[in-house]
Amino acid sequence: MKSYDEIVAHTQKIADINGAMAVLSWDKETYLPAEGAALRARQMATLSAIGHQKMTDENYFNGIMSLLQDQALNEEQQINLIRLKRDIEQQTKFSTDFVEKMSLAVSEGYHAWAEARHKSDYTIYEQKLDRLIQLKKEAAEILGYENHPYNALIDQYEYGMTVDILDNVFNQVKNDLVPIIQNLVVQEQPDTSFLEAYFNEDKQWKFGLDVLRDIGYNFQAGRQDKSAHPFSISMGSAADVRVTTRVDEHNYAYMLWSTIHEGGHALYEQGLPTEEYGMPLGQAASLSIHESQSRLWENHVGRSLQFWQYYLPKLKMVFPREFQNIDVNTFYRAINKIAPNLIRTEADELHYHLHVLIRYEIEKAIVTDEIKTKDIPTVWNELYKKYLNIDVSRDADGVLQDVHWAFGSIGYFPTYSLGSFYAAQFYHQAKRDIDSLDEKIAKGEFKPLLQWLRTNVHIHGRRYQSEELCQKITGEPLNLSYFINYIERKFLSL
Amino acid sequence: MKSYDEIVAHTQKIADINGAMAVLSWDKETYLPAEGAALRARQMATLSAIGHQKMTDENYFNGIMSLLQDQALNEEQQINLIRLKRDIEQQTKFSTDFVEKMSLAVSEGYHAWAEARHKSDYTIYEQKLDRLIQLKKEAAEILGYENHPYNALIDQYEYGMTVDILDNVFNQVKNDLVPIIQNLVVQEQPDTSFLEAYFNEDKQWKFGLDVLRDIGYNFQAGRQDKSAHPFSISMGSAADVRVTTRVDEHNYAYMLWSTIHEGGHALYEQGLPTEEYGMPLGQAASLSIHESQSRLWENHVGRSLQFWQYYLPKLKMVFPREFQNIDVNTFYRAINKIAPNLIRTEADELHYHLHVLIRYEIEKAIVTDEIKTKDIPTVWNELYKKYLNIDVSRDADGVLQDVHWAFGSIGYFPTYSLGSFYAAQFYHQAKRDIDSLDEKIAKGEFKPLLQWLRTNVHIHGRRYQSEELCQKITGEPLNLSYFINYIERKFLSL
């Protein structure tokens, strides 16, 4: 492979394979019949191996390296090749032997975790988790790092992110956010019982589709289906980006905000440049920037007073009896209720980051042996008492609640919080750039915001790392003050 | 690749890729968003090329050849390797240059056909069709044949089938079937208007699912969805075999029998041995045997008096008003109405074979230049007058109705009729082997029939060619008398 075009053609074939895997994965979560699970697993393993083989093809890497020395490349071509070079290096750093050991540890870890969670018995999982932690420490050494082994692990999920930046972020969570939350939870809580009436599934579903369409999701290049856990997935380009949701007929809050959240992810993917199909400039910047898009739509838009000034009258037409006596302020207060709970995925907009903080502190400490594997539950429970002031009665609702570590994902959790914090900073900038954004949202005009996100975030693909993109959009790196200010304004006025 | 196990492993990887393509294909026909079409086309082309590459890998072929000389193989292993050897030879006979020419001709042919059909103007298509015909003649020479070039083409769809056998079959269609039909169509026709009332889509759908479940379709290893044209598709093993249908609220007949037809195909795939995953013994025997399964369930079971003795009371519970005055004999006569029409896919159980006969006569003649491409419409229309006694007013309803030739499929049509004729012969045997089969069906007991098909047809995979299988099951090769006797008994008693 000697020309840029040949590199593109090869890269796009890899994208075809990854896109096919995305379809198989989407089908697995939506429509796959029960007995098809093992067949699907082998189909995906085979495609994954073929993709890996193409990605680590020596001719491909050598072609990229020699093109990178070529001065005739334009800026976009250079960026694409630099990003590809790193992607390939990440995939080739580990020996086949190591990859197989990790794969086995993940498989055993996952099964042990599932059983341990089911029986709420950490001891079933402890040994397998320890094996995974030892391998991740080994991985950090193979990958290489400066200062802290955790840097190597975060870097895999969030290129360029470091313990230094995260320590700074989570210190502010501790110093500024924790007191705000402690102040909020002792105040009188709004009544939320009206959100737990009976809400017909089909009506909820239709309303969710309307909201998705309104915020700009293109149903000609996507669709919504049902799955056990909501997700969004791109089949490889903006031409086919799908979302799923789950409807709970006894909890109105469940479906709509997860729909908006996944819609935010999908709007990002639908805004990526199709002319860069398969190339880094056609891909999302990072996990945290992805999460910034979902959180921005879910929280800054979907949980705002303006949004419900527009939608509550519409919602009342769908569920007249259920919401007849509810005014928009009552509704707004109810959907922004703050209360500590044990489960991260059920946390409110503020407590969520305390869940992540706890995981961040534990992850950092386990890769340096400051916490031993057998002691994780004890530390976990202590931290939940310290930060959320709640007791963990059983490990199933504590250390065993997340699958991430069992999948060998250590260093992933911080990207969730980073996403929220970037969202606050971006949204602050959007309000400065877009004339009367609040008023527009109160009128159901979402196009200016989507257009702003398209121009400032989506269109760039992977041109910038997260922090570079943040600098470019807002003129400064990640600054938690925007998030703190946002929640102070929002929650102290409630 | 030196061991049988290595050959199996490689073959199963090819099956994984083909299965992934089946999922992509299923999704394309059911849920793919409109803008995703081009992306999907490239994903499928990439997977297809990878599959072809693995199939034509020299080490693979050489491994098979050297193993075939090994006396230590058991019978199953030998059959698998002999079939694989032929499959590979079929894929490697054509040069890359020829494959590309054919691929281009198909692409251009398809687009010309679509436009020609839309405008009902054969001249738009003529030149492209002629190119396809010339290439198919070239293909016949490359493949090699005895006696007739059409033999080489049929052989690709129906291994072992020849013009000699087909001439014999279609001569009986002309000599025996045509007079029967001519006699039937002049008789008084039953009233079918009650089948064209309004039938709620959801109720039709649910009834269809019930029938599928009753005849033995396993919904744990499959599912039914909606698509523009009904089809059944295996994702590579009995673990995941899906069907689709289309519901017409103003034509009760449309949905149910296409559901049973596709269900028959799916029951075959669900009955293939999973321990032979990816190998020939785990695959369906041939197109005609596949069609025998769908036709057997659709016509011999689904259009029988016994079937409706069981189901009409159930159908009346779903559509009480629509069927209240209809007794089982009236219903039975209506669903078996015989009338000529122009469109093959809308033909009744008898006329269908006249549509195929016409295509067969034309196909045989075009590959030997007895009919020139420009004269096909004239011949087509003459044959419709001759055999069906109807006039073709526009080519869209005549020679342009089928996509097959535009796809380069010449020699495919006969497998449809062969399927029906095998079905009649198999069903005759099943009635001899199964005690009181009619009575069982009248009680909704389908298990004995399905078990008989499992044991006699499904379980063998590709162990036998169509004619060998027919011989094994019925003690003689294809014999049209069974079909003729069946229709005489059925239609003369109506």
- Rounded mean pLDDT of chain B? 96
Query: With the C-alpha atoms ordered B322, B327, B332, B338, is the resulting torsion angle positive or negative?
Result: negative
Task: Give the number of domains in chain A.
Answer: 2
Residue B71, domain extent: 1-92
Q: Cα separations (Å) of B435 from B432, B438, B455? A: 7, 9, 16
pLDDT of A448 strictly over 90: yes
CB within 8 Å: A42 and B12? yes
- Do residue A72 and residue A201 come from a single domain? no
Q: What residues of chain B lie within 8 A of the CB of A237, using their CB?
A: 39
Residue A493: pLDDT band (50, 70, 90) is: confident
Q: At what angle do helices B123-143 and B96-119 cross, to 10 degrees?
A: 150
- Rounded Cα distance between A479 and A489, Å, is 17
Q: Is A64 on the interface with B (CB under 8 A)?
A: no
Query: How close is the nearest chain B Cα to the Cα of A318, in Å?
Result: 23
Q: Is A23 on the interface with B (CB under 8 A)?
A: yes
Q: Output phi, psi for B139, to 5 deg.
A: -60, -40
**Residue B9 is assigned to a structural domain of this protein:** yes
Q: Is B13 on the interface with A (CB under 8 A)?
A: yes
Q: Tell me the whole-structure pTM to 2 decimals.
A: 0.95
pLDDT digits (tens, 9 = 90+) for B273-327: 999 999 999 999 999 999 999 999 999 999 999 999 999 999 999 999 999 999 9
CB within 8 Å: A23 and B27? yes
Answer with the one of B49, B69, B92 that is the final residue of a domain. B92
**Residue A150 is assigned to a structural domain of this protein:** no
Interface with chain B: mutation pick from A13, A43, A52, highest number of B CBs within 10 Å:
A43
Is residue A244 classed as helix, strand or coil in its secondary structure?
Answer: strand
Residue B389: pLDDT band (50, 70, 90) is: very high
Q: Is A22 on the interface with B (CB under 8 A)?
A: no
* Cβ A405 vs Cβ A377: under 8 Å: no
* Cβ A263 vs Cβ A217: under 8 Å: yes
- For residue B181, the model assigns a pLDDT of 95
CB within 8 Å: A19 and B36? no
**Residue A365 is assigned to a structural domain of this protein:** no
CB within 8 Å: A239 and B47? no
- For residue A289, the model assigns a pLDDT of 98
Q: What is the CATH number of the domain that holds A299?
A: 1.10.1370.30
pLDDT digits (tens, 9 = 90+) for B162-216: 999 999 999 999 999 999 999 999 988 899 999 999 999 999 999 999 999 999 9
Q: Is A38 on the interface with B (CB under 8 A)?
A: yes
Q: Is A42 on the interface with B (CB under 8 A)?
A: yes
Is residue B461 classed as helix, strand or coil in its secondary structure?
Answer: coil
Nearest C-alpha in B relative to A277? B39
Q: What residues of chain A lie within 8 A of the CB of B31, using their CB?
A: 223, 225
State the distance between the two ends of chain A, measured CA to CA, in whole angstroms.
61
* Cβ A402 vs Cβ A144: under 8 Å: no
Of A158, A262, A361, A467, catalytic: A262
CB within 8 Å: B32 and A240? yes
pLDDT digits (tens, 9 = 90+) for B446-483: 999 999 999 999 999 999 999 999 999 999 999 999 99
**Residue A346 is assigned to a structural domain of this protein:** no
- Rounded Cα distance between A476 and A460, Å, is 18
pLDDT digits (tens, 9 = 90+) for B100-152: 899 999 989 999 999 999 999 999 999 999 999 999 999 999 999 999 999 99
Q: Is A237 on the interface with B (CB under 8 A)?
A: yes
Nearest C-alpha in A relative to B23? A24
Q: What residues of chain A lie within 8 A of the CB of B16, using their CB?
A: 42-43, 45-47
Nearest C-alpha in B relative to A18? B43
Of B262, B291, B361, B363, catalytic: B262
CB within 8 Å: B236 and A50? no
Q: Cα separations (Å) of A349 from A91, A299, A309? A: 35, 7, 20
- Do residue B68 and residue B217 come from a single domain? no
pLDDT of A254 strictly over 90: no
Q: Is A20 on the interface with B (CB under 8 A)?
A: yes
Answer with the one of B92, B121, B147 that is the final residue of a domain. B92
Establish, for the pair of chains A and B, how many residue pairs have beta carbons separated by less than 8 Å. Answer: 110
Q: Name the pairing type of β-strands B241-245 and B232-234.
A: antiparallel
User: And the tokens for B157?
Assistant: 């769809």
Query: Which whole number is the average pLDDT over A217-240?
Result: 97
Q: Is B202 on the interface with A (CB under 8 A)?
A: no
Q: Is B475 buried (19+), middle (13-18) or exposed (0-12) by CB count in 10 A? A: exposed
**Residue A357 is assigned to a structural domain of this protein:** no
Q: Is B396 on the interface with A (CB under 8 A)?
A: no
- Rounded Cα distance between B84 and B290, Å, is 19
Integer Rg of chain B from CA? 23
Residue A180: pLDDT band (50, 70, 90) is: very high
Q: Cα separations (Å) of B473 from A415, B273, B426, B476? A: 64, 18, 7, 8
**Residue A132 is assigned to a structural domain of this protein:** no
Q: What residues of chain A lie within 8 A of the CB of B235, using their CB?
A: 36, 39-40, 43
- Do residue B200 and residue B74 come from a single domain? no
Answer with the one of A92, A111, A141 that is the final residue of a domain. A92
pLDDT of B493 strictly over 90: no
- For residue A44, the model assigns a pLDDT of 94
Q: Is B219 on the interface with A (CB under 8 A)?
A: yes
Beta-carbon-side half-sphere exposure of residue B125 (alpha carbons within 13 Å): 30
Q: What residues of chain B lie within 8 A of the CB of A11, using their CB?
A: none
pLDDT of A71 strictly over 90: no
pLDDT digits (tens, 9 = 90+) for A319-353: 999 999 999 999 999 999 999 999 999 999 999 99
pLDDT of B336 strictly over 90: yes
Query: Which whole number is the average pLDDT over B20-48?
Result: 95
* Cβ A256 vs Cβ A238: under 8 Å: no
**Residue B317 is assigned to a structural domain of this protein:** yes
**Residue B103 is assigned to a structural domain of this protein:** no
pLDDT of B71 strictly over 90: no
Q: What residues of chain A lie within 8 A of the CB of B46, using their CB?
A: 13, 16-17, 20
- Do residue A311 and residue A437 come from a single domain? yes
Q: At what angle do helices B201-215 and B252-270 cross, to 10 degrees?
A: 30
- Do residue B86 and residue B197 come from a single domain? no
CB within 8 Å: B43 and A16? yes
CA angle in degrees (0–180, nearest 5) for A139-A145-A146 = 155
Query: Which whole number is the average pLDDT over B393-402?
Result: 96
Interface with chain B: mutation pick from A46, A232, A233, highest number of B CBs within 10 Å:
A46
pLDDT of B253 strictly over 90: no
CB within 8 Å: A32 and B240? yes
Known catalytic membership, residue B100: no
CB within 8 Å: A35 and B220? yes
Query: Which whole number is the average pLDDT over A464-479?
Result: 96
Residue B417: pLDDT band (50, 70, 90) is: very high
Q: Name the pairing type of β-strands A224-226 and A241-245.
A: parallel
CB within 8 Å: B46 and A225? no
Query: Which whole number is the average pLDDT over A42-63?
Result: 95
The residues near B61 (Cβ < 8 Å, ≥ 6 apart) are B85, B88, B92
Q: What residues of chain B lie within 8 A of the CB of A236, using their CB?
A: 39, 43
CB within 8 Å: B47 and A222? no
Query: How close is the nearest chain A Cα to the Cα of B31, in Å?
Result: 8
Q: What residues of chain B lie within 8 A of the CB of A50, using their CB?
A: 17, 50
Q: Is B22 on the interface with A (CB under 8 A)?
A: no
State the distance between the two ends of chain B, measured CA to CA, in whole angstroms.
61
Query: How close is the nearest chain A Cα to the Cα of B248, in Å?
Result: 23
Nearest to A322 by CA among A199, A204, A201: A199
- Do residue A80 and residue A221 come from a single domain? no
Nearest to B310 by CA among B412, B187, B449, B441: B441
CB within 8 Å: A27 and B23? yes
CB within 8 Å: B239 and A19? no
Query: How close is the nearest chain B Cα to the Cα of A464, in Å?
Result: 26
Select from B36, B46, B236 the Cβ nearest to the Cβ of A235.
B36
Q: Is B221 on the interface with A (CB under 8 A)?
A: yes
Interface with chain A: mutation pick from B8, B10, B16, highest number of A CBs within 10 Å:
B16
Q: Is B236 on the interface with A (CB under 8 A)?
A: yes
Nearest to B416 by CA among B190, B241, B261: B261
CB within 8 Å: A43 and B16? yes
pLDDT of A294 strictly over 90: yes
CB within 8 Å: B20 and A35? no
